[in-house]
Every structure is written in C-alpha cells, then in structure tokens.
Amino acid sequence: MIASDESLEPVEAGSQGRVLKTGEVHLLSEQAREFIALEERYGAHNYAPLDLVVERAEGVWLWDVSGKRYLDCVSAYSALNQGHCHPRIYAALVDQARRLTLTSRAMRNDRMPGFLEKLTRLCGYEKALLMNTGVEAVETAIKLARRWGYVRKGIAPDDATIVVFSNNFHGRTLAAVSASTTEEYRAGFGPFLPGFVVVPFGDADALERALTPQTAAVLIEPIQGEGGVIVPPAGYLKRVWALCREHEILLLADEVQTGFGRTGDLFACDYDGVKPDVLIVGKALGGGFYPVSAALASDELMNLFQPGDHGSTFGGNPLGCAVADAALDVIVSENLAARSRYAGAAIMQGLRALASPLIAEIRGRGLLLGVQLTVPASRLAEALLERGIAAKETREYVLRIAPPLVIDDEAIAYLLDGFAGAVGSLHARP
C-alpha cells in the first residue's frame, strides 16, 4: 500500500523521530516515492531493495525521509557490526580526512604499518594484504592459493583446482560466480573461470572423495550466510581442516560476513577451534564507513607475492586504514563478540517461543540468524516493515535477522514484539 504522509513534523538530528505503532501500515511519503522513482529511472536494476528510503541512522536505528524510525536487522550484510555512525570511528575518519586520504601504493603512508600490525596480531597471522571489498579479498586468496599450488606443491601449470561448496556465496565477480552453484548469479555470464570443483556443503566424505593431487585449496564459508544461514554439522569444519592438512591443501576461510564478532566469536572458525591457512575478512573491518578488506596468511604464503603480482590503487590507503584501525578497537573494547552471543541467544529463544506453524526452523549463531518459513520470506519482511523493523529475505523461504552487535535489551524486546505482530498478521491473512 502506497500513500502520501505529509503530517509528520521535521525530525531534529539526534532525536528519536516518529516510531511506527504496532499494526500501523508502512506508508511511503511523496518524498520517498520521488527518491525511489529517480533511483529506478537512473540506476541499474540489479537489486530489489526494501521500499525504505533511509536518511540517517544511529546505532541499531534507521530514520527514513519522513522521520519514521526502524530497527535495522540487515546491518548492510554484517558491515555494521559496530552500529551505524559509531562516534569513535567517525572521529577517526574526520581526523584522517583532514590530513591525508590517498597515496596509492606507489609510495608509503604513515597509517598502514600500525594498522597491519594491529590486524595481524588480533587475527593471529603474520601478514595481511589489504584490499577494498570482500570479493577482492576472495580473489586475493584464490590467486595466492593457485600460486602456492604451482610453486610449493608442484602442481602442473594451469592444472590447479580449488574445492568450493554447493550453495556458496563469495561475491559476484566472474571468479566468484564461476565458483557458485546459484543459477541466478551465473545466468548469462559465461564462459566461466575453470578450476573449481563443487561438493555438497556439510558432507565431509564427499569432500574427501573430491580431493586430488591437483587440489590446491578448499574455499569455505564456516556458516553460509547468503545461502540461507546454513550452519554445518557438528565437527564438520574440524574434519575439513584435518583433510586439508592430511592432503597438503590450503584451507581458505571466507569470513567476510561471519567475521569480527558476528557469530558470537571473533571469527566463526574459532567456534570449532580451526585456524585456516588464509583468513578472508571485510565488511565490518570498515566499521560501516569505508570499504576495507584483507587476506591474512603466514609469511611463507604471503611472500609468494612479489611486486606487480597483485594490488589495488585504494587498497591500504591511509583513510581506510585509519577507519579500520578504529573499527577494530571498537570490536575489542566493546566486547562485541560476547554481546552478539548474548543478544543472539535472547532473540533465538524469543522467536522459538512464538511456536508458529509459519516458522519451520530458526538457526544460526550469535547475531547471524535465519528463520526458515513455510511462506515466502518477502511477505514476512513486508509485515515487519509495517512494524518498524527492516529485515530482508536471503532465500525465498528464509528471512535473515542480523542487527548490529550493539543491540540492547530494549531493542531486542522491540524486535520480538514486532516479530510476533508480523507473524500474527500473516496468520490472519488468507
């Protein structure tokens, strides 16, 4: 339902704004409709976003152009673990922007060395290669694994393979979609990059059968977020890790969405006590202010890259390093992994207590939760939006709940109350 709402008073910066009342229909103002029309007219249609035009945000809350407030349960796909516009990260951004923003890697800058030390020490690795987006870090790991396969393992030129898993999501570059099994990501984009071998996610025996002397690496998401928040069986990641060591194969862990506290540990691999050979991080590393990503590995591995082998004009720029340095400080000082573990348990318990026949399963860890439904998830997303909660489907029948890790008890109660109302409204509809 779309209607004009001109009765709202202007919202002052820092105020709570107008909160949707339970059962109130999400209405689009004339201003919001104009913004949407402009975007549809001049922008590529490669996304299907919620019809929510956000003007400002703070912590876990969003305000649209009419001043209505919404709880953010998307978190820019885990890029906002620290919450929107965190003042500590904002201060670092502004301070650095006054002094130096970009040099390219043609010369050195004073922000990257200290940030590299902080990042590698926190993550437990010896070296990091900085990029911008998560998929760039994935590409870095793929190139590094192939180089290692040829130089160290002795695989014949152009014969190296990398094992990936069904239902994976590593981004949308050509290499990433070449590794994908999701047809909508692949349709019309071939020919694809060779060298990827797909096995079922969660089946360790199938993985073992797929390994050959030409296998250079296994690329895995410890929890498949975009694939529907799929948590592997108990002991599976340890078995994958053991197989990699047994067969002299690198383990590449894509923690772009699961990293930096999202699943209740600093990294999702920590839950199983697994240390991958290459750790791939991004999203929350930029604190919601700037795209920063990295691939982390040992000296032995990372030294396989020499000048000219790989790079990025913006990767490791001083502005990004300053932002990411502060983003790491917030994750550690505010103990966001523990907060995620606590809040996730409270939300999961509250959702399970609804005992609705529309909910088939609730799964996940920390604040990466997937609600498996018996009705299309887009219907529940619409009902939640009417109640001031912004959430998005990740598969046709799976709704993802992933608020910023700074969510407090009051916001958790708001989420559970709104969820109960939304589910109840779907029961009442024919």
Specify whether 254 is catalytic.
yes
Strands 196-199 and 389-390 come out as unpaired
Amino acid 76: pLDDT: 98
What is the number of other CB atoms lying within 10 angstroms of the CB of residue 312? 17
Closest CA to 261 of 279, 294, 285: 285
The active-site residue out of 68, 127, 283, 392 is 283
169 is catalytic: yes
- Domain 87-333 in the same topology as domain 18-72+344-428: no
Candidate list 115, 165, 169, 196, residue with the active-site label: 169
pLDDT of residue 23: 42
Domain residue limits, the chain? 18-72+344-428, 87-333
Does CATH place domain 87-333 in 3.40.640.10?
Answer: yes
What pLDDT score was predicted for residue 352? 96
Nearest to 262, CA basis, from 171, 368, 152: 368
318-333 and 336-352 helices, crossing angle to 10°: 60
Neighbour tally for 158: CB within 10 Å: 9
The pTM (predicted TM-score) of the whole model is 0.93
CB neighbours of 274 closer than 8 A, spacing ≥ 6?
222, 237, 238, 240, 241, 251, 253
Core vs surface per residue 18-45: b (16+ CB within 10 A) or e = bebeeeeebbbbebbbeebeeeeeeeee
* pLDDT of the residue at 396: 94
**Alpha-carbon distance 211 to 249, whole Å?**
9
Own/partner contacts of 229-236, CB < 8 Å, gap of 24 or more, are 229/363, 229/364, 229/368, 229/369, 229/370, 229/394, 229/398, 229/400, 230/167, 230/201, 230/202, 230/363, 230/370, 231/363, 231/364, 231/365, 232/201, 232/202, 233/202, 235/272, 236/202, 236/204
Residue position matching structure tokens 């690198």: 250
Q: Could you give the residue ranges of the DSSP H alpha helices within 79-213?
A: 87-99, 112-123, 134-148, 174-178, 183-186, 204-210
What is the per-residue DSSP string for 24-78? Answer: ------HHHHHHHHHHHHHS-------S--EEEEEBTEEEETT-EEEEESSHHHH
CATH number of this structure's domain 18-72+344-428? 3.90.1150.10
The 359-365 sheet, strands edge to edge: 359-365, 368-373, 398-401, 392-395
Strand partners, 389: 71
Count CB neighbours of 344 within 10 A. 25
pLDDT means per 10 residues, the chain with 430 residues, are: 32 41 62 95 94 97 97 98 98 98 96 98 98 98 98 98 98 96 93 97 98 98 97 98 98 98 98 98 98 98 97 97 98 98 98 96 98 97 97 96 98 98 86
CB-based contacts of 390, cutoff 8 Å, min separation 6? 50, 52, 62, 70, 71, 72, 73, 74, 384
pLDDT of residue 246: 98
Catalytic residue among 254, 265, 277, 325: 254
C-beta separation of 175 from 139 below 8 A = yes
Residues 6+ apart with CB under 8 A from 158: none
Position 248, amino acid:
E
Secondary-structure breakdown of the chain: helix, strand, coil percentages, each rounded to the nearest 5: 40, 20, 45
- CA 339-371-200 angle, 5° bins: 100
Query: Do 22 and 417 form a contact (C-beta atoms < 8 A)?
Result: yes
Residue 84: DSSP 8-state: B
Token pair of 214 as six digits: 């030409």
419 classed as catalytic: no
Q: β-pairing, 293-297 with 278-281?
A: antiparallel
**The token pair that represents 83 in the structure block:** 């919450």
**H/E stretch holding 302:** helix 299-302
Token pair in block for residue 249: 């194969």
User: CA 419 from chain center: how many Å?
Assistant: 23
pLDDT of residue 26: 58
